[in-house]
Amino acid sequence: MAVEYRGCSNLVYAEVTGDDNETSGGYITGEVKPLAPVAEISKTVETSSEAKYYDNVAAIVIDSEGSDTVTFTIAIPPDETLAEITGRIYDETKQMFIEAPRVNKYFAVGYILGEVGEGEQQKYVWRYKGTFGVPDETSATKDNSTTSNNMSLTYTGIYTEHVFTNGGGTGKAAPAKAMAMRPSETVTETKFFEEVATPDTSFTE
């Protein structure tokens, strides 16, 4: 049966507060928070391939994989959220977004692709480490149309330093089928997104 994605939802984020392989450390994240209502999600992967020639023929191919770029088309998020994910300052007393020099922070980002239905499939996704770019802003004068402006937010994802036991290496993401990530377990939206779900996390209800 052909499978397609139709829909996206539940865009959330959590700050990565630790990422190493020390006994006392590991991969650690903060509280999972809602980011913004999402209209579209697209992902591209930086890759390159080059053939190496021996004895006058292409004998081997060297592949290289770089960062992932995920673009979220979203409704305008609260200033507090935008300040946090872009490393800016938000003064709650003055309710002021301050474009101070950025503090570099890493975040995990989670979302749902698709809806469950005939010919459709739903996946839960956590991307484990990356940074959010400063989004462009556009606003136009109001007229007699229904035109309005949303926001395009770019997330650059990289590999963790932490090596996960399940999978035997570092990771950028591990999308999971919504209903059967593991044969003996039921994966629910609540369970998967209550914290950052990694390949080593148990999802037993």
The domain spans of the chain are: 8-139+148-193
Per-residue pLDDT tens over the stretch 125-169:
999 999 999 998 887 778 877 677 889 999 999 999 998 888 777
- Strands (DSSP E) found in 3-37: 8-19, 27-29, 33-34
Phi, psi of 82 (to 5 degrees): -65, -40
pLDDT confidence band for 2 (50 / 70 / 90): low
Task: Say how far apart CA 68 and CA 28 lie, in whole Å.
Answer: 21
Could you tell me the pTM of the whole model? 0.84
**181 pLDDT higher than 50:** no
Predicted confidence at residue 117, as pLDDT, reads 57
Predicted confidence at residue 81, as pLDDT, reads 97
**Which stretch of DSSP H or E encloses residue 79?**
helix 79-85
pLDDT confidence band for 190 (50 / 70 / 90): confident
Which one, of 129, 112, 92, lies nearest residue 15 by Cα?
129
User: What is the DSSP secondary structure assignment for residue 136, as one 8-state letter?
Assistant: P
| Tokens found for residue 192 | 């998967």
Task: Say how far apart CA 124 and CA 126 lie, in whole Å.
Answer: 7
Per-residue pLDDT tens over the stretch 64-121:
777 899 999 999 999 999 999 999 999 999 999 999 999 999 999 999 998 765 455 6
Predicted confidence at residue 205, as pLDDT, reads 52
Task: Say how far apart CA 90 and CA 99 lie, in whole Å.
Answer: 9
Predicted confidence at residue 204, as pLDDT, reads 53
**Residue 95 DSSP SS3:** coil
